[in-house]
Chains A and B, each alone.
Chain A
């Protein structure tokens, strides 16, 4: 376990060496925070609630969504892509460790870093100028934390599966980008899916996307009550299992046919 923990520390150290970048990211996050709060304030003008969600809840929704966006900025896909292109993945495979645990540790390191560098400042700014992002209740908050962990695993596995593709096609072009936008739109990270037409809502229930952003956030704001929340977490677990099996299968295939670039 120790090398994996040290990897988390290394990621933190690396992040601290990019101070300028941290600052720029923070500024964009704050702009996003204000823009979405203005948007929802304007949309709610003269309306009490939409789909049983009031203005305050919606503002909290957007703040939490931005925070989750920070947590879910997963690097495994991109780091495999770059390593495969440059052939440096060879060096990783020479270590007596499970390299995917290593990549996972790197991403956990990223989460720790973003909590310190982005999330805490965002919470402070939001509490001071927009809304205090308080959970509906302690029970809701605990369920929210559990479901965020599940969301993270789903996101990570999807990213890792896309990363594995790079081993044999080297470059899947815009496919990775398309996937990212699909997740952003269909997961309700900008606009909750309950504002979409009913037919789309019904379809999306059968896809993993809403379980990444919208589900944990609606638990947080109290739109989803504890019992349905538990059911939702069970659905998340099924998705984790499904993606986990798929990932394992592709990983075994890749390890059997590894291709390393360059002399």
Chain B
């Protein structure tokens, strides 16, 4: 077991908001006795992430994902609990931690709006004290996957969203950090750019053992990258397990759809639940641990002739929706 790169222990964050009453009477009331409500954005969150992991950190909007990330970077101080990054606490060692941290907020940019991309890179090179030779090497490497040289001399304000995102990713990796936080890095991007970004994350993870925490609403990102996912809802972690396991335990079954040539059939199978779909098509719902797809197919083809078949993989979207729905129900 490798040591933990990130260790969160009962991490909590409360926000106090003043409730504004409306009308004149409300305004007077607000002035003298404001009504304060406490919202727990993150509630006793604990997890441990080891070096080289890519972890998907997902949850519906407002679940507390970004708040957790912000606490991990030291931008927000936790109300309770603590978090350690490489054994250091962001609360009192922020500057030291961020030296080895790359962060991309999909909705914000750390690039200078009016300057060519390359100028922002040069500033970052000096901020992170990267020497020129290493910088050139890193940039060449980043350029290979992200193709930033195409627009390195263009002012950032003239870049398309996809280009800007690639620029931001490159900017976050210029100092080769060992930990990378990506907060919705593929938001609003087209298929090609998404693909390039996923490829980039995968490569740096394999090559440098970079630990990546990824929050996203795009579950294709998760499926392509993460082996482990942590699901948070209403500030509470509702699930933390390997992706495979999660799908297995949530759905547990697969679907086999067969089309038979004979119009007159009566199929039964002890280990599958069968529903006719019409026009000679049948849906067989089975559990992987009870019977393999191959065995099921051969059982059926022993009785009838199969014209076409299709195995439906478990859909992660269904899994997540199911978990969200359940945790919502638990809250009510």
User: What residues on B are CB-neighbors of A98 within 8 Å?
Assistant: 95
CB neighbors of B among A77-97 (8 A): 86-88, 90-91, 93-97
In this complex, how many residues of chain B approach chain A with their Cβ under 8 Å: the count is: 32
Contact B98 A87 (CB under 8 A): no
Q: Which of A2-10, A124-132, A146-154, A177-185 interfaces with chain B?
A: A2-10
Contact B115 A97 (CB under 8 A): no
A173 CB to closest chain B CB (Å) equals: 15
User: What residues on B are CB-neighbors of A256 within 8 Å?
Assistant: 77
A100 CB to closest chain B CB (Å) equals: 12
CB neighbors of B among A204-263 (8 A): 256-260, 262-263
B96 at interface, CB cutoff 8 A: yes
Tell me if A's interface is mostly helix, strand, loop or mixed: loop
Q: Of A91, A94, A96, which contacts B96 at CB under 8 A? A: A96
Contact B115 A90 (CB under 8 A): no
A263-B107 CB under 8 A given contacts A7-B123, A258-B77: yes
B137 at interface, CB cutoff 8 A: no
Contact B61 A257 (CB under 8 A): no
A27 at interface, CB cutoff 8 A: no
Distance A10 CA – B268 CA, assembled complex (angstroms): 74
Give the interface size class of chain A. 20 to 34
B42 at interface, CB cutoff 8 A: no
CB neighbors of A among B103-120 (8 A): 103, 105, 107-110, 112, 114-115, 119
Q: Which of A17, A95, A98, A256 has the most CB of B within 10 A?
A: A95
Q: Which of B47-55, B67-75, B249-257, B296-304 interfaces with chain A?
A: B67-75
Contact string against A for B residues 115-157, beta-carbon threshold 8 Å, 1 for contact and 0 otherwise: 1000100110011110000000000000000000000000100
Q: Which residues of A contact B (CB under 8 A)?
A: 2-3, 6-7, 10, 13-14, 17-18, 86-88, 90-91, 93-98, 256-260, 262-263
25 A-B pairs with CB atoms under 8 Å apart are A2-B126, A3-B126, A6-B122, A6-B126, A10-B119, A14-B112, A17-B114, A86-B108, A90-B105, A91-B105, A93-B75, A93-B94, A94-B75, A94-B98, A94-B110, A95-B127, A96-B98, A256-B77, A257-B77, A258-B76, A259-B76, A260-B76, A263-B62, A263-B66, A263-B107
Q: Which residues of B contact A (CB under 8 A)?
A: 61-62, 66, 70, 73-77, 94-96, 98-99, 101, 103, 105, 107-110, 112, 114-115, 119, 122-123, 126-129, 155
